[in-house]
């Protein structure tokens, strides 16, 4: 795992976006794995800037979202269908027909999940998966004790996750859905590259457990330790509990120029 520590949240977005940009430059119809939440917004802002400047073209890029709530109308502005359309599809100029989000409104949930896995497979897999991490260590909505072998399925949101996400629902916990569909940990690990971003002191424990803790379903993010091409980009606050922070800084400062993400 490569850990990159930079001073600001904006730089976190820039470094992670550079890794995504390289994939899109090399493959016009790249398959992006996209996340919602606050963390990836700086990545999308930087990718939008590059697209507007004519440096990147997303018109043939395909995308698969990590997750979607169950029991929410897709017209609701906080449904992940709506969030992905607003923050990713429209900002980057993706073709909406090539952007997929799990169908949390499906009448046959098991079939919807199996179909989602099949679509990812038929697309040739995800070339680069963008991830955030929950304060409890979840990635996607794989809450603590999720199996490392899990695939797209329905999950019950942890109380901590619902409380954290109440900020998107007028701080009203009752409005926060109780269930979701999420790609599994094995689905995420199948992506060819992973880039996870985290900022702020509230993520410091989760980041330390993910990067330096034991491989454990109690911290689903620790699954990244199993991936051969995983990059974790954090700001100083989110890095505060990393024991080897100086080593990561040293390593990044001494990377050969061609391996650096900032360009």
Q: 3-state DSSP: the chain helix, strand, coil percent, rounded to 5?
A: 40, 15, 40
In whole angstroms, the minimum distance from the beta carbon of 240 to ligand F6R comes to 16
Least separation in angstroms between residue 112's CB and ligand F6R is: 17
CB of 68 to ligand F6R, least distance (A): 9
Using an 8 Å Cβ cutoff, are 127 and 191 in contact?
yes
Q: In angstroms, what is the minimal distance from the CB of 57 to ligand F6R?
A: 25
Question: Which of 11, 36, 150, 222 is close enough to bind ligand F6R by CB under 6 A?
Answer: 36
User: Measured in Å, how far apart are the chain's first and last C-alpha atoms?
Assistant: 21
Residues 6+ apart with CB under 8 A from 178: 70, 71, 156, 157, 162
Binding mask 63-82 for ligand F6R (x = CB under 6 A): ---xx---------------
37 near ligand F6R, judged by CB under 6 A: yes
Residue 122 to residue 29: CA distance in whole angstroms? 14
Per-residue x/- track, 138-177, ligand F6R (CB under 6 A): xxxx------------------------------------
CA distances from 18 to 49, 155, 157, 184, 193 (A): 12, 32, 32, 26, 13
Active-site annotation holds for 136: yes
Q: Is 134 in the site for ligand F6R (CB under 6 A)?
A: yes
Q: Work out whether 31 is an interface residue with ligand F6R (CB under 6 A).
A: no
Query: Which residue matches tokens 């996607």?
Result: 140
Catalytic residues: 67, 136, 138, 143
Contact positions vs ligand F6R (CB under 6 A): 35-39, 66-67, 132-134, 138-141
């Amino acid at each position: 795992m490569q850990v990159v520590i930079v001073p600001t949240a904006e730089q976190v977005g820039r470094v992670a976006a550079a890794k995504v940009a390289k994939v899109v430059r090399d493959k016009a119809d790249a398959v992006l794995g996209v996340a919602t939440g606050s963390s990836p917004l700086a990545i999308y802002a930087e990718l939008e800037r590059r697209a507007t400047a004519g440096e990147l073209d997303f018109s043939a890029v395909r995308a698969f979202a990590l997750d979607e709530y169950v029991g929410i109308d897709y017209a609701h502005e906080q449904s992940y269908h709506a969030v992905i359309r607003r923050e990713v599809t429209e900002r980057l100029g993706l073709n909406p027909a090539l952007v997929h989000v799990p169908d949390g409104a499906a009448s046959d949930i098991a079939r919807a999940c199996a179909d989602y896995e099949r679509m990812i497979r038929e697309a040739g897999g995800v070339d680069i998966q963008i991830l955030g991490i929950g304060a409890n260590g979840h990635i996607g909505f794989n809450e603590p004790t999720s199996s490392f072998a899990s695939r797209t399925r329905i999950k019950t949101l942890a109380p901590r996750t619902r409380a954290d996400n109440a900020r998107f629902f007028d701080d009203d916990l009752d409005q926060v859905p109780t269930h979701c569909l999420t790609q599994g940990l094995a689905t995420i690990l199948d992506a060819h590259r992973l880039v996870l971003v985290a900022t702020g002191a509230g993520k410091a424990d989760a980041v330390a457990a993910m990067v330096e803790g034991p491989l454990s379903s109690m911290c689903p993010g620790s699954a990244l330790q199993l991936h051969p091409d995983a990059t974790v980009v954090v700001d100083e606050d989110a890095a505060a509990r990393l024991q080897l922070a100086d080593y990561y800084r040293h390593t990044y400062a001494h990377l050969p120029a061609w391996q650096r993400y900032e360009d």
